[in-house]
Amino acid sequence: MQEWLANPAVQAGIAPFITALISAALLRKLGWYWAGGALVAGFAVAVYLSTGFQFEPWTSTRKIVALTLGAAALGLLYDLYPFQRRWLMPVTFTAAMAAVVWVVWPVLSRSAGMKFWLLAAGVSTYAAWCAVMMETLRAKPAAMISAAMALGFSAGITALLGASALLGQWGIALGVSAGALWLFVTFTRNTAVGSLVALPLGMGAALIGCGAFVYAKLPWWSLAILATIPLLAHLVWFPRLPRIAQATLSMVVTAAPAAAAVWFTLQQTGAPPL
pLDDT value at 259 more than 60: yes
| pLDDT for residue 272 | 62
pLDDT of residue 149: 97
Q: Predicted confidence band at 268 (pLDDT cuts at 50, 70, 90)? A: confident
Long-range contacts of 20-28 (CB under 8 A, 24+ apart): 20/176, 20/177, 20/178, 20/179, 20/180, 20/181, 21/180, 21/183, 24/180, 24/181, 24/184, 24/191, 25/184, 28/184, 28/188, 28/190, 28/191
Average pLDDT along the chain:
92
Structural domain includes residue 208: yes
Residue 206 lies in a domain: yes
* Residue range 47-65: mean pLDDT, rounded: 91
| Per-residue pLDDT band at 84 (split at 50, 70, 90) | low
Q: How far is CA 62 from CA 65, 111, 130, 216, in A?
A: 5, 22, 20, 16
- Structure-model confidence comparison of residues 84 and 19, the more confident one: 19
Which of 140, 236, 146 is closest to 194 using CA atoms? 140
Provide DSSP, 3-72.
Answer: HHHT-HHIIIIIHHHHHHHHHHHHHGGG-TTGGGHHHHHHHHHHHHHHT-S---S--HHHHHHHHHHHHH
Q: What is the pTM of this model?
A: 0.94
Percentage of the chain modeled with pLDDT above 90: 77
Query: How many CA atoms lie less than 13 Å away from 39 in the CB half-sphere?
Result: 42
Q: Flag whether 274 is in a domain.
A: no
As for how many domains the chain has, the answer is 1
Interacting residues of 150 by C-beta distance below 8 A, sequence separation 6+: 175, 229, 251, 254, 255, 257, 258
Note the pLDDT of residue 236: 87
User: What pLDDT does 220 receive?
Assistant: 92
Q: What is the mean pLDDT of residues 83-112?
A: 89
Say what the pLDDT of residue 145 is: 96
Sign of CA dihedral 173, 121, 92, 190: negative
> One-letter amino acid identity for 91?
V
Distance of CA 106 to the CA centre of its chain: 23
- The whole-number pLDDT of residue 274 equals 54
Q: Which of 181, 183, 159, 162 is nearest to 170 (CA)?
A: 159
| pLDDT exceeds cutoff 60 at 256 | yes
**DSSP class of 137:** T
Helices (H), 137-194: 141-161, 165-187
- State the average pLDDT over residues 173-194: 94
Integer CA distances (angstroms), 114 to 108, 111, 118, 121, 191, in order: 11, 9, 6, 10, 47
- Note down the domain range covering 239: 2-269
Amino acid at 96: A
* 189, pLDDT greater than 90: no
pLDDT in tens, 114-171: 899 999 999 999 999 999 999 999 989 999 999 999 999 999 999 999 878 899 999 9
Rounded to an integer, what distance in angstroms lies between the CA atom of residue 241 and that of residue 52? 43
pLDDT tens for 208-244 read 999 999 998 899 999 999 999 999 999 988 888 898 9
Confidence of residue 39 (pLDDT cuts 50, 70, 90): very high
Mean predicted confidence (pLDDT) in 62-76: 96
What average pLDDT does range 59-63 have in this prediction?
94
- Farthest CA pair distance, the chain: 54
pLDDT at 86 over 80: no
**How much is the pLDDT for 125?**
96
CA 182 to chain centre: 14
